[in-house]
Amino acid sequence: MKKFIIACLVIFTASIACKKEDIGGGGLCACSPIAETTLQLAVKNAAGQDLLDAKLSGSYTEKQIQLFQKDSNGNIKQIQFNISPPISFDSQKFDFYQIRSSQIARLALENATQVFYLKLGDREPLEISLSVNLDKRKVEKLVIDKKEIPAVSGGISNYLSLFAVSL
């Protein structure tokens, strides 16, 4: 009987201790990874070439890119991002590098009217706003310089929120 009570106590303790609340309010196991909502943005030139590919002349390196927001006093706050390589999953591919940021998605979720900025090299900063669907964990709408950028459709984009902007 002691073993049965100890086993029940261990199971009960593990079920209580392993729960944590995510932003959406659902209980998740603390041991399970949480898929974070992430903006993934490819940047192309007018000819459709990847402007984040270091092998291409005229492309932008991570050091030449700034992703930021401005506070009410006009002070610039940098937003974390990285450059991700092209993606392939099974036979599906997305052959462009992407600016990838989870922080911008979190900030947009906190304040839906927040405006962000993307500065590429010496170009004027691009104004960005986005809508995030927490239930689907996706960026659903991306607007750059007051123009809606459609999500990339088909293939691997069925699993990810991929966007591509042409400059």
Q: What are the residue ranges spanned by the domains of the chain?
A: 1-31, 35-166
pLDDT of residue 110: 86
Q: 20-28 — which CB contacts under 8 Å span 24+ positions? A: 23/109, 23/134, 24/134, 24/135
Q: Residue written as tokens 């993307």?
A: 118
What percentage of the chain has pLDDT greater than the value 90? Answer: 45
Strands of 39-44's sheet in order across: 82-84, 98-101, 39-44, 162-166
First to last CA, the chain: 72
pLDDT digits (tens, 9 = 90+) for 40-90: 999 999 999 999 999 988 899 999 999 999 887 888 999 999 999 998 877
Tell how far CA 85 is from the center of its chain: 14
Locate 60 and state its tokens: 């932008």
| Residue 26 in this model has a pLDDT that exceeds 50 | no
The DSSP 8-state label assigned to residue 151 in this structure reads B
Cα dist from 124 to 67, 120, 121, 167, whole Å: 12, 8, 9, 12
This prediction's pTM: 0.74
Confidence of residue 15 (pLDDT cuts 50, 70, 90): low
Mean pLDDT throughout 97-116? 90
| CA separation for the pair 97, 62 (Å, rounded) | 11
Rounded CA-CA distance 8/4 in Å is 6
> In the structure, what pLDDT confidence band is assigned to residue 3 with cuts at 50, 70 and 90?
confident
Structure confidence by residue, pLDDT tens digits, 117-135: 999 999 999 999 998 887 7
State pLDDT tens for residues 88-101. 877 788 899 999 99
Given a cut of 60, whether residue 28 has pLDDT beyond it is no
